[in-house]
Amino acid sequence: METVIGNPLIKALIILFLLSATTAAGDAPFIISHKKASLTRLKSGAERVSVSIDIYNQGFSTAYDVSLVDDSWPKDLFDIISGNTSNSWERLDAGGILSHSFEIDAKRQGMFHGAPAVITYRVPTKVSLQEAYSTPILPLDILAERPTENKLDW
């Protein structure tokens, strides 16, 4: 057995096999997603949350049937004003970016901790759907008592 592994040709074939296996695994899409939320005070007692989610494909192949779902906004706390909390795209090419945004109104005051959005996509070489998660948002202090800013103060 030692003479087979000690053979330089066998060593070269083993190294070539390991390198090709590593390269083949690196050909898949690599999805990264960033979720952002910002608050806008409309009037006393009303605040709007603007949410944007960017999806990046940092891999070397195309992701197909890309779907985004952000169910972290409970209906008893928020009303959707514009857009949807979910979206889908046919494909996301290697090195490509997809963006999605929506606006919601807050119904109640308090701290809100949003969960990451879920992105599912299909890779042609795999049977099952792949899943990725966005970054979570920082805690939002909705309808918080903020000191007034004097914008004319020099």
Domain harbouring 111, CATH code: 2.60.40.1530
Least Cα distance to 72 among 116, 41, 32 occurs for: 116
d(CA 110, CA 92): 37
Average pLDDT value for residue range 84-89:
97
Residue 115 in 3-state DSSP?
A: coil
User: How far is residue 88 from each of residues 44, 70, 71, 103, 139, measured CA to CA in Å?
Assistant: 36, 12, 14, 18, 27
Is 4 within the bounds of a domain? no
Is 85 within the bounds of a domain? yes
pLDDT of 146: 64
Per the prediction, the chain carries an average pLDDT of 84
In single-letter form, the type of residue at position 106 comes to: A
Is 43 within the bounds of a domain? yes
Least Cα distance to 70 among 82, 55, 85, 56 occurs for: 85
pLDDT range class, residue 153, cuts 50, 70, 90: low
Is 5 within the bounds of a domain? no
pLDDT range class, residue 43, cuts 50, 70, 90: confident
CB atoms within 10 A of CB 126: 9
Is 57 within the bounds of a domain? yes
Q: Tell me the residue range of the domain where 76 lies.
A: 26-139
pLDDT of 28: 85
pLDDT of 82: 96
- Indicate whether 40 pLDDT > 70: yes
Torsion of Cα atoms, 40 then 41 then 46 then 52, to 10°: 0
More confident residue, 154 or 47: 47
d(CA 21, CA 138): 39
The number of folded domains in the chain is 1
CB atoms within 10 A of CB 117: 25
| Residue 11 tokens, joined | 């060593």
pLDDT of 21: 46
pLDDT digits (tens, 9 = 90+) for 105-121: 998 888 999 999 999 99
Return the minimum-mean-pLDDT range out of 2-6, 50-54, 83-87, 130-134: 2-6
Is 150 within the bounds of a domain? no
Helix then strand then coil, % of the chain, to nearest 5: 15, 45, 40
Distance between the two ends of the chain, CA-based, in angstroms? 84
Is 90 within the bounds of a domain? yes
Share of the chain above pLDDT 70, in %: 77
Is 98 within the bounds of a domain? yes
